[in-house]
Amino acid sequence: MKAYIEQLRKELHQHNYNYYILNSPVITDKEFDDKLYELQQLELNYPEFADPLSPTQRVGSDLTGAFEQAEHQYPMLSLGNTYSPDEVSDFYQRVQKALNEPFELVCELKYDGTSISLIYEDGALSRAVTRGDGVKGDVVTANVKTIRSIPLYLQGESYPAKFEIRGEILMPWSVFDQLNIEREAKEEPIFANPRNAGSGTLKLQNSAEVASRRLDSYLYSVLGDDLPFTTHFESLMAARSWGFKISEAVQVCSTLNQVFDFIHYWDIERKNLPVATDGIVIKVNSFRQREELGFTAKSPRWAIAYKYQAEKALTRLLSVSFQVGRTGAVTPVANLEPVQLSGTVVKRASLHNADIIAALDLHIGDSVYVEKGGEIIPKITAVATELRNQDGERVKFIETCPECGATLTRIEGEAAHYCPNDQHCPPQLKGKIEHFVSRKAMNIDGLGSETIQLLFTTGLVRSVADLYSLKVSDLSGLERLGLKSAQNICKSIEQSKTISFEKLIFALGIRYVGETVAKKLAQAFKSIDKLSVATVDELIAVDEIGERIAGSVVLFFADEQNRQLIAQLREAGLQLRLNEESDNKISDVLLNQSIVISGTFRYFSREEYKKLIEQHGGKNAGSVSAKTSMLLAGDNMGPEKLKKAEKLGVRLISEDEFLSLIGQNPTRDESSQPIQQAPPQMGTLF
């Protein structure tokens, strides 16, 4: 029995790591909870095998080495979970017996997000910390400040001088769907659900990228010394008046039947919400009664979480097909007997990679359970082996590319298999062209996937260089393309020759080189000639470039066909170096100085000022910190930045002073309208 207990602990530790560190769980919440419950019972029955580091004795951790850590003033404990109405009744009776007096319960939605602790001092957000291991967490204040539903300054004057409020950071369904569409187009791993996507976003190093993902929040617990409240519900209503986003789905219940009415109602209605929920949290309302009930080692006795069962369906696996993407990644797809699930008909489900196929031990004809990860992405979660037809062939991951026949490869440390024949494999060739013409790359209009397929099939275009040989007469006679469409396509192709060097690097489709990396490479090496001969060590020396990216860049330019492609693009007249304005460094007057821009300006736009800062040796920063050298202050600047700059003693410099400092004369009429005028009420967002 000792060996089994230790093995169970090992499994749970691994699942904790998958969930909190990798943001990539491989089992459902219920499966985890079932395993944890089994371990708890075994430890009760066999106390001689107790272990102070058992998963039952701690809260899972999401700590990383990339953020500063801070201890929680009040430990962030987890709630006991149940999927059973009977256990909700048991909880109610335990509370009733322990208190032996009337009590109220508050029912709230259990939002499926990332737990956060927000500290406010004198009405201003001072720190945001993740749950971490329950005792300390990662400080993510800069990223949290980008979430518009979290107030930077509170409303009114009734709030305590210092207090903590806790809640969940969430990614709305609409943002999640769009993010996965974009990641799939780039052949990046898609997120399983909004919780993982939101958690990953909150840990990004680039706050601007965090802001672009439009995270949301719901807050649900106020803590502090000598708070002026006697009940939880009262504290929530006060927090709402201070400007916090408190869910409308909060109800005070005085009977068990009212609790179950709330549970049943939201089991249906939660599917209409803009964010993910996975259950109901039930808490004793009175703070005095909570204190009397106390805590267990890892959770309060005055609260419980009731979790809804994930909707699943049983269907049959008909076949498995394999798709080849732009980068050569091969993705297995399960073709299913159509089944109704969460309001839609599911016919296909991604199997992701060979490891997942092996773990499921799939056979053709198997009866399989299908769920929607986050109730959006269909996935096979289990096989009903008791229903298996023994004649069904076991599913094996293919060894050769289904499109070109090349032997597949698997990069060490990665889950995906790749087709290495990137110069001749049709899906890769067409994918490269689609990526090259996309809006964020060369921005060539009129070349959608169907048109590219047509050009590829007719032999007019086999590589991106062929685009620059196209003539109107080549296109106008093709199916679905008339003279006007052909003229517009050729005009857009010609205009793409002026697209900047950094966008061209991105357009080349070098594996692991996204928009941000492409820009850093362009700024570091200035031209395609210098980039093409850069060594791994030289590439790693560039900010944010690691060994994986460096190795990929070196391999790309080592390929003779890629070198020929560059020569063809050069002959076509594309931008293979930074333009003179970007490349020409004017002075070092701002060398090693970190400068923040805030407000609106008379002479130049914010983007133009950022360019001037770089041309004079300075570095643009998005937020004020102790490392900030100066704050370039325009009109209507953000009060938060101003307040922090004054607190840290950061030098404020006006537009005229800045231009004088770099020796630049204004080139715009002072009486003209500002280039970038922000509405006054938007000032706190900058």
* Residue 110 annotated to the active site: yes
| Residues forming beta bridges with residue 167, ordered by sequence position | 116, 219
Separation CA 229–CA 241 (nearest Å): 14
Asked if 177 contacts 87 with a C-beta cutoff of 8 angstroms, the reply is no
Residue type present at position 292: E
Separation CA 671–CA 122 (nearest Å): 40
Show the 3-state SS of 96-147: HHHHCCCCCEEEEEEECCEEEEEEEECCEEEEEEECCCCCEEEECHHHHCCC
Nearest 5°: phi and psi at 510? Answer: -65, 130
E-strand stretches of 538-591: none
Residue with tokens 């004369």: 665
CA-wise closest residue to 397 among 413, 411, 418, 378: 418
Helix, coil or strand: residue 371: strand
E-strand stretches of 444-520: none
DSSP assignment string, 421-466: -TTT-HHHHHHHHHHHHSTTTT--TT--HHHHHHHHHTTS-SSGGG
Backbone region of residue 573 per phi and psi (left: phi > 0; alpha: psi in -120 to 50; beta: other values): left
Residue with tokens 């169970």: 8
Asked if 22 contacts 191 with a C-beta cutoff of 8 angstroms, the reply is no
CA-wise closest residue to 398 among 389, 409, 388, 387: 409
Q: Spell out the residues 6+ positions from residue 84 whose beta carbon is closer than 8 angstroms to its own.
A: none
Nearest 5°: phi and psi at 653? Answer: -130, 135
Residue 247 tokens read as: 């869910």
Helix, coil or strand: residue 367: strand
Asked if 327 contacts 101 with a C-beta cutoff of 8 angstroms, the reply is no
Rg over alpha carbons for the chain, rounded to the nearest Å, is 29
Separation CA 182–CA 195 (nearest Å): 18
Helix, coil or strand: residue 170: strand
Asked if 143 contacts 210 with a C-beta cutoff of 8 angstroms, the reply is yes
Nearest 5°: phi and psi at 652? Answer: -95, 135
Residue type present at position 606: R
Nearest 5°: phi and psi at 445? Answer: -75, 155
- Name the active-site residue from 35, 110, 519, 530: 110
Show the 3-state SS of 255-319: CHHHHHHHHHHHHHHHHHCCCCEEEEEEEECEHHHHHHHCECCCCECCEEEEECCCCEEEEEEEE
Residue with tokens 């910390």: 129
**Active site residues per annotation:** 110
